[in-house]
Chains A and B, each alone.
Chain A
Amino acid sequence: MFMKKKKTGTPLEASEKVMIVISYIIMSILALCAILPILHVLSKSFSSASAVTSGSVLFWPVDIQFETMKYVLKETTFLHSLKNTIIVTVLGTIISMVVTITTAYPLSKPSFKGRKVFIMLYIISMVFFGGIIPAYMVVRTLGIIDTFAALILPFFIVHFNMFIVKNYFEGLPESIEESAKIDGASDTRILISIVCPMSTPVLATVAMLYAVNYWNNYFHAVMYTNSTEMQTLQLFTYNTISNTQTIVERLVAGNYSNVSIDGIVSAVVVLSLIPIVALYPLVQRYMVQGITIGSVKG
């Protein structure tokens, strides 16, 4: 199928065919390398304790059971952690987008007095980070330790994202804004009704970058939260993997005879993958754009 004739009609040369075959083989191996571990973990999470512990599960569940999933969903704080992560991701992305747009817009206007100073300040704080302890002390002094705000505030604005948006705004034709001004539109109206709709591709990409940032955020959750109530999904996953002895004690205490530690760890990994896997096809386009958007002309 892949060895069609070239569009020009000339048949593929033998060396080209070999290269294509080799490429397909390499790509297939790489794809398998990515898929097989997921299949293994997925199989383990649905296999019986005896099959998992005795190492007989490979890429297909053995003695299928759903107790492990039930255990993770019912006996652990998985759902609560998922809820926390969703709140942080949704709320954080919205706030970050508002802040990023409202920062990038004035900075994209050459007429904005002190523009260079502000840009310089952003660049300085982008290059030089104050350090973990000062950052922690700022969060602590604000009184937001162990709150959602502590997980959102540090990512409030990612300089790089802001500059991407600013650069994009700068590339928009000035004449459209001018005509809107003549019609009596305010700056806010122009931003909301003209600039933002015209910038959908960059805004979607940046929103996705923010969302991924918030979703994957582990470090801030470790540093700025203490209670299990505020535990995010990433933190929950790590804690589950590193607390297997406690899990054994809990399995012994409960009525989960068909559940194994490895099965639980696998189930947690699988469950935490589901939201990302479900969303990925929808945001894939922006993910690709996100990789190349840094090259947008400044």
Chain B
Amino acid sequence: MKKIFVLFLAVLMIVSSLAACGQSSNSTSSNTSTAGTATGAKALDGEKPELKYLGYNVSFDPNTDGMAKIYEEKTGYKVKYNVLPAENADEKLLMEVASGADYDVIQVSVSQFQTLLSQGALKPLSDLLNQHGQDVLKGVNEDSWKACSGPDGKIYGIPYKYPYPTEVTTFMVARMDLMKAAGINELPKTIDEFYNTLVTLKKFYGDKYIIFTGPFRAASEASVNWDIPQSITSAFGIYNDWMVDENGKVYYMTEHKNFSKMIEFMQKLSNEGLIDRDWAVNNTTTVNEKLSAGKAIIAASNRVGVAVTTPIMTGKDGLGLKNEDLGYIGALAGSDGTCKYMKTEAINQVTCILKSSKNAEHVIKWINIKQQNQLYLNIGVEGTHFTYDTDGSIKPINPIFAEERGNSYWYLNSTNEEEFAKQWPSRVRKSDAMWAAFDAVTNKANKETPNIFVDNTFAFMPSLENYSKYNQSLFKATSDFTLQLIGGTKKIGDLKTFQSDWTNSGGEKIRTEMQNWYNEFYGKK
């Protein structure tokens, strides 16, 4: 018996040694103390500590990627990067924090930030930013800071805003070779021209091609998957699920005066066989397939979509098209000239420091150094990684730019928002396909019709209780209803019943909540 006990002890020892041999070099701290850093200035001239970082999930190893070394060389700080899982990220984060995580700095989503803030897990950053982060303070605009502040007015997070506010994120790709053969030489700019284009193509090609395929249901920065492409909704003045009228009243897209007209337009396209029969079941992959296989003439897409389809359509193994055989249709204008497209200025990520962090000052200093070197770290060296175009815009030198700065976006915590908006488009240029679409749609809109961009009123809205609880299911219900309307299984007269269901399923609760936030944030009564 004794020997069995000895054997058991031996096994326990094996396990202990296994634990000791593990990867975590910093496993000693399960300290939940909030006294990790003293307030007030502290000399940071000594040795720079290794920082422990937690970021969102990514498909490459941020520790071994070339960017880690570049950041380390420039900032002088060695950083151990960790990532949240792709699934159950919220649960994992909360569990780690609740059990005394020892990260020095974490980058989380806005809703995760709000949760951590409400639980009192975050360190206020106002004083630290004043002492060590002057560049960070200056680079971020007031509204962004306001969105990352607590009820006490102190800053608790450093926002990373979507870098380019006036981007037409979703658009349509058109086969110009087929359009020209049908006698259409110009891309449509208005909803009426678009309809006429589809009709002409249908008359010319009959059922040989799918005239217009979509929708492009892909996760995007706008966070919603529209069943009617935003290039079309823009013509009806609908630019978001929630909008605010001129009197400051919050309303839902189904309440928009043009919602019925928009549905009727889509029904007309469906009845006349101008849109894909599989419209209700299409997804990103099937739309990409139909476009790149040469089955569709016009397809809904986005920047990532064209990065997939264009190389195939223009490749010798694919359709063998030339670049000029592809056209891009951006936000269409309505019959009355209406065209509204929402700005993409939401906060993507928030960097914050847990109360248990022992290196808060160093973290702020590290982020500040990164921001001081924003151009070098994200775009590179002039002449090596990029050159300036004649119009002053940055043109990357490929492939070195893509190879040496391709993954820099993951390492960003804060930017000089104004400067970065000018620098960021160069990152789109790492792919010719992405740039062709960006130039034809976004740059064109900014030059010719900059007034189409509407402010994202709720860009800085925190995670509200009812919004988090009901909005996703309401959006899904609206999408289903929209598809039923387009398919003809529901009639526009059913909108009243839908609206009533919507109200009872949390819609009204969200509206009240959003209205209160809107009034408070924008100082309205």
Give A residues with C-beta under 8 Å from B: 48-51, 53-56, 63, 76-77, 80, 91, 95, 98-99, 102-103, 105-106, 112, 132-133, 136-137, 140-150, 152-153, 156, 186-188, 191, 222-223, 226-230, 235, 238-240, 242-243, 245-255, 257, 260-262
Contacts and interface: CB of A to CB of B under 8 A. Distances in A.
Nearest to A91: B18
Nearest to B403: A253
Given A54-B293, A226-B82, A239-B86, A187 B19 contact: no
Contact of B402 (A105, A153, A186, A254): A254
Interface stretch (B21-29, B138-146, B147-155, B203-211): B21-29
Given A187-B4, A242-B57, 7 more contacts: A77-B60, A133-B95, A143-B24, A146-B23, A147-B18, A153-B19, A248-B304
Interface in B1-54: 1, 3-4, 7-8, 11, 14-15, 18-19, 21-24, 27-28, 30, 54
B289 A53 contact: yes
A242 B87 contact: yes
Contacts of A95: 11, 14-15, 18
Given A144-B19, A147-B24, A257-B315, A222 B92 contact: yes
Contact of A250 (B8, B82, B406): B406
Closest 4 CB pairs of A and B: A147-B22, A54-B293, A55-B289, A253-B406
Contacts of B288: 53
A228 B83 contact: yes
A222 B87 contact: yes
B61 A77 contact: yes
B88 A222 contact: yes
A248 B315 contact: no
16 contacts: A50-B318, A53-B292, A77-B60, A140-B100, A146-B27, A147-B19, A147-B24, A148-B18, A188-B3, A222-B87, A227-B80, A228-B61, A235-B85, A238-B86, A243-B59, A246-B59
Interface stretch (B163-171, B305-313, B331-339, B497-505): B305-313
B395 interface: no
Contacts, number: 187
A80 B21 CA distance: 18
Contact of A187 (B3, B83, B312, B403): B3
Contacts of A50: 292, 312, 315, 317-318
Nearest to A262: B285
Contacts of A249: 406-407
A102 B431 CA distance: 60
Contact of B22 (A150, A191, A252): A150
Given A105-B4, A188-B4, A227-B83, A141 B30 contact: yes
A9 to B, nearest CB: 57
B473 to A, nearest CB: 21
A142 B24 CA distance: 12
A95 B12 CA distance: 10
Given A145-B27, A226-B82, A102 B434 contact: no
Contacts of A188: 3-4, 7
Contacts of B24: 143-147
B386 interface: no
Residue in A54, A63, A103, A227 whose Cβ sees the most chain B Cβ within 10 Å: A54
A153 B15 CA distance: 8
A237 B307 CA distance: 23
A257 B311 contact: yes
Contacts of B402: 252-254
Interface string B91-102: 010011011100
B399 interface: yes
Contacts of A255: 399
A239 B57 contact: yes
Contacts of B286: 55
Residue in A63, A103, A149, A249 whose Cβ sees the most chain B Cβ within 10 Å: A249
Interface residues of B, number: 67
Contacts of A254: 402-403
A226 B22 contact: no
Interface in B50-97: 54, 57-64, 80-88, 92, 95-96
A106 B4 CA distance: 8
Residue in B27, B58, B80 whose Cβ sees the most chain A Cβ within 10 Å: B27
Nearest to A54: B293
A239 B58 CA distance: 8
Contacts of B219: 245
A106 B7 CA distance: 12
A8 to B, nearest CB: 55
Contacts of A99: 8, 11
Contacts of A227: 23, 63, 80-83
A117 to B, nearest CB: 16
Contacts of A51: 317
Given A137-B99, A222-B92, A223-B92, A229 B63 contact: yes
Given A222-B88, A238-B86, A228 B312 contact: no
B430 interface: yes
A136 B95 contact: yes
Contacts of B57: 239, 242-243
A144 B289 contact: no
A102 B308 contact: no
Given A222-B88, A227-B23, A252 B307 contact: yes
Contacts of A229: 23, 61, 63
B292 A102 contact: no
Contacts of B8: 99, 102-103
B22 A149 contact: yes
Interface in B310-324: 311-312, 315, 317-318
Nearest to A106: B4
B380 to A, nearest CB: 13
Residue in A132, A148, A226 whose Cβ sees the most chain B Cβ within 10 Å: A226
A222 B83 CA distance: 10
A99 B431 CA distance: 55
Contacts of A257: 311, 315
A252 B434 contact: yes
Interface string B278-295: 000000011011101110
Contact of B59 (A91, A106, A250, A253): A250
Nearest to A112: B1
Contacts of B294: 54
B307 A53 contact: no
A239 B83 CA distance: 11
Nearest to B84: A226
Contacts of B88: 222
Contacts of A112: 1
A141 B101 CA distance: 11
B323 to A, nearest CB: 15
Interface in B240-291: 285-286, 288-290
A41 B19 CA distance: 38
